[in-house]
């Protein structure tokens, strides 16, 4: 039996990040009936582990923060069958040696922002930053990793390779030339790979959460939890708001609260009636969007699960980086013919942005569902093409 080790970001408190790992893991596990052994090496960097804990320690006064840290650790154990005990290291050579000791025939890298490389120098506190990852790392492994390599839905979202040093660029090119098939999640990543000369056998594929069927999971526990929190408030219209601007969140809250809506958040927003970030397990989080009437978000996976639940959605990007680069959310909206649902606070004023959000605007959900299914077919074709190489 041939074996594949899946290298992904499972060690995360973000429900969307855990669900993308679970979705790809589940898709690959379906190949076991054809003689492929799918393994999930229990490997992470110290930076990832520190960041996961840091997110829950930043505000120790918030109820449930520490509890949620351990809840998510438990959720990882329930969703994944790990190949061995946890291995933590920021040392590239040690990590490569660990993977080589597993004797995998293949390694599949992805999905998520596994190829997000930063060009700034490392500060003493960089391991506590969400975007900080040691470089080089196993997600972009060179010839020292003995297994054959592919990627699925790898992303460099927000990274600008032209700003990297020559040393990093040379390593990236050498490492990625070791990959026999490359699947990337967004157009920006495709452009970054082209910048370093990687053009052959590169494919655009969807995030694995688009492939996975979440309709098989019921929402009874979600309804109970929401009723326990909201009571009769659950009969009012519900909008989920999570943007990267505190002031924008406040203004959107005032707009919808003034119209009698219940405002919740699924990621980060202190201007809400109910903070739902920590009350759901990952699978509950995925199906909770069925109970909303509108989603306004910066989050890639909130957008996906909102659309999968047939809920109208808007994306609002914040920050200079998304003026300089195309975000993964903007690209997905364009793929689905929904460019008009995109907003960017870097190119429009806050007042214009808030006023442009239509609380009653409808979307052609049948067309969106068809678009999502077409994307899923592209992802499965990619996996099938790889299967034939085994």
Q: 128 pLDDT exceeds 50?
A: no
Place of tokens 């900080």: 132
pLDDT, tens only, 332-390: 999 999 999 999 999 999 999 999 999 988 899 999 999 999 999 999 999 999 999 98
**Could you tell me whether strands 202-204 and 179-184 are parallel, antiparallel, or unpaired per DSSP bridges?**
parallel
Report how far residue 2's alpha carbon sits from residue 103's, in angstroms, rounded to the nearest whole number: 10
Percent of the chain scoring above 70 in pLDDT:
91
**Domains detected in the chain:** 2-212+373-387 (3.40.50), 217-359 (3.40.50.2000)
The predicted model gives 194-200 an average pLDDT of 96
The mean per-residue pLDDT over the stretch 222-251 comes to 89
pTM score, whole prediction: 0.93
**CA–CA distance, 24 with 361 (Å, rounded to integer):** 33
CA distance 212 to 10: 16
Which tens digit of pLDDT belongs to each residue from 256-307? 999 999 999 998 799 999 999 889 999 999 999 999 999 999 999 999 999 9
């Amino acid at each position: 039996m041939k074996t594949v080790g899946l290298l992904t970001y499972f060690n995360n408190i973000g429900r969307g990040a855990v669900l993308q790992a679970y979705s790809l893991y589940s898709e690959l596990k379906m190949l076991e009936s054809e003689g492929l052994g799918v393994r999930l090496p229990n490997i992470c960097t110290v930076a990832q582990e520190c960041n996961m804990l840091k997110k829950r320690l930043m505000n120790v006064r918030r109820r449930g923060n520490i509890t949620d840290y351990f809840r998510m650790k438990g959720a990882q154990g329930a969703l994944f069958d790990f190949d061995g005990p946890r291995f933590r290291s920021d040392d590239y050579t040690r990590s490569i040696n660990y993977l080589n000791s597993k004797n995998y025939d293949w390694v599949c890298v992805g999905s998520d922002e596994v190829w997000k490389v930063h060009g700034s120098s490392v500060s003493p506190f960089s391991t506590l930053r969400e975007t900080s990852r040691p470089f080089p790392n196993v997600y972009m492994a060179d010839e020292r990793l003995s297994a054959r390599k592919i990627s699925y839905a790898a992303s460099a979202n927000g990274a600008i390779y032209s700003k990297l040093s020559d040393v990093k660029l040379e390593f990236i090119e050498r490492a990625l030339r070791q990959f026999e098939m490359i699947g990337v999640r967004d157009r920006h990543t495709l452009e970054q790979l082209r910048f370093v000369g990687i053009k052959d056998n590169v494919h655009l594929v969807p995030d694995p959460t688009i492939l996975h069927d979440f309709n098989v999971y019921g929402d009874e526990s979600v309804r109970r939890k929401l009723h326990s929190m909201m009571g009769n408030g659950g009969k009012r219209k519900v909008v989920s708001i999570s943007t990267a601007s505190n002031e924008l969140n406040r203004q959107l809250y005032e707009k919808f609260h003034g119209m009698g809506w219940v405002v919740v958040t699924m990621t980060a927003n202190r201007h809400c009636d109910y903070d739902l970030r920590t009350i759901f397990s990952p699978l509950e989080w995925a199906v909770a969007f069925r109970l909303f009437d509108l989603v306004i978000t910066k989050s890639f996976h909130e957008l996906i699960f909102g659309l999968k639940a047939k809920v109208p959605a808007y994306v609002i990007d914040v920050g200079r980086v998304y003026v300089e680069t195309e975000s993964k959310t903007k690209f997905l909206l364009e793929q689905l013919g929904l460019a008009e649902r995109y907003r960017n606070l870097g190119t429009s004023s806050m007042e214009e942005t808030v006023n442009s959000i239509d609380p009653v605007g409808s979307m052609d959900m049948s067309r969106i569902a068809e678009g999502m299914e077409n994307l899923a077919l592209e992802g499965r074709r990619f996996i099938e093409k790889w299967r034939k190489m085994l």
